[in-house]
Structure 1
C-alpha cells in the first residue's frame, strides 16, 4: 500500500542542477569566523546546493556541547548573504521553528532523536501550520519504519508539501565499521511506499568516519537517493562535535568528483530490451521459488500432524542446527553470502513453526484476547 503524501518535487524547493545534490556544512556552528569561512570555501567549490549547520545540538548526555544557540542563526544569515547559499538547520521545538524562520533559514530538518518522539514531531508540525518551508525528516534512532512514516505524515498533515526524508542510519548493538548501521532495506522499503518522496542520504552520521563517506555516498546514489548531506568543517581536527566524521571543503570536492552518477531511467532501446529479457528470467525463477516454498510448507504441515499424533514437540533444536549448517555450506559453494542464507532459512523456519503450531492447536479453543494480553 502506497503512502498518501501530498508532496512537491525536490526541484521546486532546492536547486538540483548540480549533480549530485549536496547539502554541506559543519556539524555545529562554533564561531562566526568558523561558520562563515567554511561557507565561503564550500560555495567556492561550485558543488554545494545548500549550507547546513547545527545551531541546537541534542546530545546524548548533559555536559557535552549542545550548540551555540540562537546567536548562530545570525552567523548563518551572514554566511547566506555573503555566499548566496540557501541554509538548513535542525529544529527540535516549536521555539526553534519560530526562531529559524524569523532568521530566514530556508530549509528545516527534524533530527533522529526528535523523529523517535511523536509528541515532539507533533509540536514541530503544529508550529509549521500555515508556513511554506521545506522540511526534511531524518529516520528515528532505532530501526522503526512506522515512526519514520508517522513523522513524515505529521509534517505533511500540517500543510508542508516541500518534504523529504533523510536516511542517516540506525542505532545497533552489533559492532561494525559504521557508527549507525545503514539498514538499507528500511530506506528501500520507504522508497517503495512513497516513490515520489525525495530521499537524502547522510553518510556522515552513518559512517562516523570520514574515510567511509565516499563508499556510503556511492551506494546511496546507486539506490536512487536524490542527494547527500555531508558534514564539512574548515578544520575538522579542532571541531567541537563529531570531528571524526567531518571533512574539509577540499576533501569534499574529492569525494564528489569520484562519485559515479547513474540514471534510474533507461532510454536506450537495446539496453531496455536486454533488461526486459533478464527481468523475464528473474520473474520465472521467482515464480518457481514461491511454488517450491509453498510445497515446503505443505510438507511442514504434514510434519506438524505427525508430531501431534506422536506427542513430539514442534521445535527440535538439533534438527534446526543441522539444516542451517548444511544449507549455509551449500549456499557458500554457490557464492551466496552466509548472512543472506541464514536470514532466508530463519524466515522459512519461522513460517514452518507457525504452520506446525496451527496444526498442533487445531480444534483447541483460542483464549480470549484479554487473557493473551495479560499472559
Structure 2
C-alpha cells in the first residue's frame, strides 16, 4: 500500500504571499547580540519569513561546540520581539521540544542525525502528541528514502499535519565538491510519494562552502522546491560552527535577488503545443529504449546458455572493462556525460549478471 500523509498547505502556517518560503539565520546561537543582530539584519531584507538558529548542536565528535542550549532561548524571545518574525530551532529530544515550546519557538525541525534513528524519531513523535506546531524533517545522513518516509509517518502518527521536508544532501563517502551530495532523485521520489508535502532546500549543508550556495539554491528552485533554509551570520568567518557555509545577511539578500523563480506551468497555447509534441517524441524514444533493453537481455540469456554449456563463469573482467570504457567514450562523442553512460551501464551490467545467474542455475535447480 502506498504511504499517505495528511499535510496542511504551507500557507496555512506561514504567509509567504505566493513566494518561496525563506528561512535563514545563524548555524548556532552563539551570543545574544550575535543572534539578535543577525535576525534584525535578515528582517530588514524583507524577504525572510522565518528566522532559524541552532540551540542544541549534535556534533560528530565531543569537544566541538554543541550549542548554548537553554541559555539561548531567551535570546530567541528577544529576536522575535524585535523582528516580529517566527523562529525555528532543531530538536532532538522530548526535553528540547518542551523547552522550545515553553519559550515560544514557532517551528521545529528534526535534524539529519536524528532522522536516521527511528527510536529517536518515535520519542519526538510521542512528545509532540497534542501539540499544534509545524515540524520540518531533514533527510537522514545516509541515502535511505525509507528512513525519511518513516520519520514522516511517525511524526504524522502523532497528529502533526503542518509538515515539511528539508533536503540537505547525503553523506556517501564519494568524492564531491559538495559537503553532502544532493542525490536529487531521492528528494524527487519523496515528493512523488507525498505530492502535498512541502520540500525545502538546504543549500548550506549541501554545499559546505558559500561559493556553491547560489548554484544549489537555483537548482532547488528549478526543481520547484517550496522554499530554502540558508545559514546567515553577521560575521561568518568568526562563526563558532560551519563558518565556511554561512553568508552575511547582505550577501544572502544579494543571493536571493539573483535567484530566478520559475513558473510551474504556462497557459501559453504555443508553449503547450510545443511541449506536447516534444513529449510525444520523448515517449516514442523511451519505448524504443525499453524495446532495445529487452532485446539486449534476450541476447544475455543466450550468452548465459553458452556459458552454462561450457562451464564458464558469469563475470568476465576483461569484457566488462571493455564495455565500461567504450560505452562512456561513445556517449561522450554524442554529447552525453560519461558519468551518465557509466551509471546506466553499471545498472545494465548488474541486471545482466542477475539474468545470467538465473539461466545458469535453472537446470541445476530443476535437476
Partner of 1:24: 24
* 1:175 CA drift (Å): 2.4
Give the Cα–Cα distance (whole angstroms) in 2 for the partners of residues 214 and 325 of structure 1: 34
* 1:20 CA drift (Å): 3.2
- Structure 2 unaligned blocks of 5 or more: none
Equivalent residue of 1:289, what SS?
helix
Partner of 1:338: 338
| Superposition TM-score, scaled by structure 1 size | 0.96
Equivalent residue of 1:166, what SS?
strand
Given the alignment of the two structures, is residue 46 of structure 1 paired with residue 46 of structure 2, yes or no? yes
- The alpha-carbon distance between structure 1 residues 283 and 353, as it changes in their structure 2 partners (threshold 3 A), is same
Map 1:323-334 → 2, pairs under 5 A: 323-334=323-334
Give the Cα–Cα distance (whole angstroms) in 1 for the partners of residues 31 and 308 of structure 2: 72
Partner of 2:264: 264
Give the Cα–Cα distance (whole angstroms) in 1 for the partners of residues 309 and 238 of structure 2: 71
* 1:248 CA drift (Å): 0.5
Equivalent residue of 1:137, what SS?
strand
Give the Cα–Cα distance (whole angstroms) in 1 for the partners of residues 341 and 317 of structure 2: 18
* CA RMSD between the two structures: 1.2
Map 1:166-177 → 2, pairs under 5 A: 166-177=166-177
Give the Cα–Cα distance (whole angstroms) in 2 for the partners of residues 325 and 217 of structure 1: 34
- Structure 1 unaligned blocks of 5 or more: 367-375
* 1:120 CA drift (Å): 0.4
Deviations 1:194-227 (A, max 9, x none): 1111010111101111111111000000011110
Give the Cα–Cα distance (whole angstroms) in 1 for the partners of residues 153 and 300 of structure 2: 41
| Superposition TM-score, scaled by structure 2 size | 0.98
The count of aligned residue pairs is 366
- Whether the aligned pair in 2 keeps the contact of 1:18 and 1:47 (CA below 8 Å) is no
* 1:184 CA drift (Å): 1.1
Give the Cα–Cα distance (whole angstroms) in 2 for the partners of residues 280 and 194 of structure 1: 27
Deviations 1:263-294 (A, max 9, x none): 11222222111111110100010011001101
Give the Cα–Cα distance (whole angstroms) in 1 for the partners of residues 45 and 167 of structure 2: 25
- Whether the aligned pair in 2 keeps the contact of 1:18 and 1:49 (CA below 8 Å) is no
* 1:350 CA drift (Å): 0.9
* 1:143 CA drift (Å): 0.9
